[in-house]
Amino acid sequence: MKPLKILQIVHFYPPIAFGGTEIYTQSLVEELGKNNRVLVLCTENPVQGVTAANVSLKPVGNIELRILPSRMPTVFRDTYDDRSLDSRLAGIIKEFSPDIVHLQHLLFHSISFIDVVVAAGIPFIMTLHDYWYICPQCFLTRQDGSLCGGPGTGDVCLACDSADGNRYLTLANAVSPNSSIKAVFECIKPVFPRIFRQWAWRMVIENKNNYARSVRGFTETKLRLMQTVAALNKAALIIAPSGLLAERYAKAGVNNIRVIPHGIKAPANGTFSNEKYRKRPRHVITFGYIGGIIPYKGVHVLIEAFNRLNPGGASLLIYGQSGVDAAYDKILAGSAAHPDIRFMGFFEHKDIFEVLGEIDVIVIPSLCAENYPLVVNEAFMVKTPVIASNVGGLNRLVHDGMTGFLFEKGDAHQLAGIMHRIVQSPGILENLSKNIPPVKAMKQHAWEIEKLYRQAIALKAGKTPGA
């Protein structure tokens, strides 16, 4: 078959950042790039000090990376609809002339990129990685840790503790063009955020007929939801790696979603066994955490649970990049009372299976509605059981008592009980390991995705797919 020219658009891409979306996209691109030409378009990460100036843009084989400049939003709309780079994207499309565009994530880009792609007459598909298109803060999780059932019509987002603070600047603009009043609003929001939200919401409900101009600002989240859903529905196909994600988006009005689990890039040696459970000293169990060092990932819950274990019977290795939330880093360091807790820091993802080789069981203590954490299937690929919060998509990946264990979100006592049981009866891990089913490799997944590309291209051209 004729090689395709594929444009992949994602917020970050290694080495700019190494989150799950970025790692998945890189693995897919590398596999697709074996037989096709792929251009990856991402944005800078100034928070981590990574810009276009310090990343190599030299093509590697059939794969090329281009980086758009980052932009600091000044109003809420800019966080999702900033058209300042639309012309840049249009120019890239004209130059590269892709057969298909695959939108991995538009965070830090703009939902308007979809209109640019549509105007160019290029078919596109999307992959959903989180809830960003229907939730301004991505994770459908409130400040107090409780889970949000969804945006409704978008109005409920206005009262959300966790939603983007830039909304208040938009509200100030709507209420008055006077710079002094805006300054007062900006002073109020960090000091009395809940009071401000309640006041704003009351204004919407009680005065929407009298303050029509203000209502537009107050309902910005509703406009956001309407716009993002309408844009997503222009896609030839939307891919969701989990049924939960597909259900949440369908409930919000998004159509044409197909559930296709991600593939995982296999270890170089291609061997998977549970030999490590027979070779390890039975009196020492290594628990491991691999992920973001941020509050909603629940690392503090894991540390609190591990602190309850007796010294000497187990160790806890915590892998993840510090510095994202300095205050949280300090809390974790101060709470790690157990002598066998070690903060291992960041590692390059190419070493993931080497790291997993030193861990007996992975723990995912997330407090948010996780969608499809790659680390679960990476662990399963090398037959490593997982202990996870019974939340989001995790309870659809981990089968309690079969491939790992589930515990109630935030319940350090229950998690400690599970870990204590494993320490006392380490043979449990070998039994769990035997139950872990095979994991889909990225090679197979990339074949599935390329097949969808060709179907979308054929439909756009008015041809029968596969003909």
- Pair 17, 121 in one domain: yes
pLDDT tens, residue by residue, 409-422 = 999 999 999 999 99
Instruction: Give the SS3 label for residue 418.
Output: helix
Concatenated DSSP letters of 196-252: HHHHHHHHHHHHTTT-HHHHHHHTHHHHHHHHHHHHHTTSSEEEESSHHHHHHHHHT
Among the three residues 220, 241, 263, which one is the final residue of a domain in this structure?
220
Domain boundary among the residues 204, 220, 236 is at: 220
pTM of the full structure: 0.84
20 with 97, same domain: the answer is yes
Give yes or no: residues 429 and 445 share one domain.
no
Q: Find the length of the chain.
A: 467
What is the predicted pLDDT for the residue at 192?
47
First to last CA, the chain: 12
* 380/373 Cα distance (integer angstroms): 12
How do residues 138-173 score in pLDDT, each as one tens digit?
A: 888 776 777 888 888 776 776 665 554 444 444 444
User: Is the predicted pLDDT of residue 209 greater than 70, yes or no?
Assistant: no
Of 220-224, 353-357, 378-382, which gets the smallest average pLDDT?
A: 220-224
Cβ–Cβ < 8 Å for 415, 387 = yes
Q: Are 448 and 412 members of one domain? A: no
Asked whether the predicted pLDDT for residue 467 surpasses 90, the reply is: no
Same domain, 161 and 299: no
Q: Give me the half-sphere count of Cα atoms (radius 13 Å) on the Cβ side of residue 224.
A: 31
Q: Examine the domain organization and report whether 28 and 14 are in the same domain.
A: yes
In a domain, 61, yes or no: yes
Closest CA to 420 of 431, 407, 409, 410: 407
Residue 413 lies in a domain: yes
Q: Which two tokens stand for residue 443?
A: 């090679």
Q: Give the domain extent around 386.
A: 276-435
120 and 166 co-located in one domain: no
Residue 252 lies in a domain: no
Number of neighbouring beta carbons within 10 Å of residue 294: 15
Average pLDDT over residues 222-234: 94
Q: 123 with 101: CB under 8 angstroms? A: yes
Above pLDDT 70, what percent of the chain? Answer: 80
Inform me whether the pLDDT recorded for 199 exceeds 60: no
Same domain, 35 and 101: yes
Give how far the C-alpha of residue 460 lies from the chain's centroid of Cα atoms, to the nearest Å.
30
Whether residue 387 is contained in a domain is answered as yes
Looking at per-residue confidence, does 200 or 10 come out higher?
A: 10
Whether 207 and 284 share a structural domain: no
Do 53 and 195 lie in a common domain?
no
Q: Would you say residue 148 lies in a domain? A: no
Which tens digit of pLDDT belongs to each residue from 103-113?
Answer: 999 999 999 99
pLDDT at 147: 80
List the one residue out of 165, 222, 117, 175 whose CA is nearest residue 460: 117
Q: Is 462 helix (H, G, I), strand (E, B) or coil?
A: coil
Does residue 445 sit in the same domain as residue 396?
no
Three-state secondary structure call for residue 3: coil
- 391 in the same domain as 300: yes
256 lies in some domain? no
DSSP H or E segment with residue 124: strand 124-127
**Domain-embedded: residue 330:** yes
**Which positions ≥6 away from 450 have C-beta within 8 Å?**
4, 32, 35, 36
**Cβ count within 10 A of residue 87:** 10
What's the pLDDT tens digit per position in 21-44?
999 999 999 999 999 999 999 998
What number of other Cβ atoms are within 10 A of residue 86's Cβ?
16
CATH number at residue 25: 3.40.50.2000
Query: How many other CB atoms are found less than 10 A from the CB of residue 180?
Result: 7
Strand partners, 26: none
pLDDT at 150: 82
Q: Is residue 215 part of a domain?
A: yes
Q: Which of 220, 245, 265 is the last residue of a domain?
A: 220
Whether 287 shows a pLDDT value over 70: the answer reads yes
Number of domains in the chain: 3
- 277 confidence band (pLDDT: 50, 70, 90): low
Q: Distance (Å, rounded) from C-alpha 446 to C-alpha 401?
A: 32
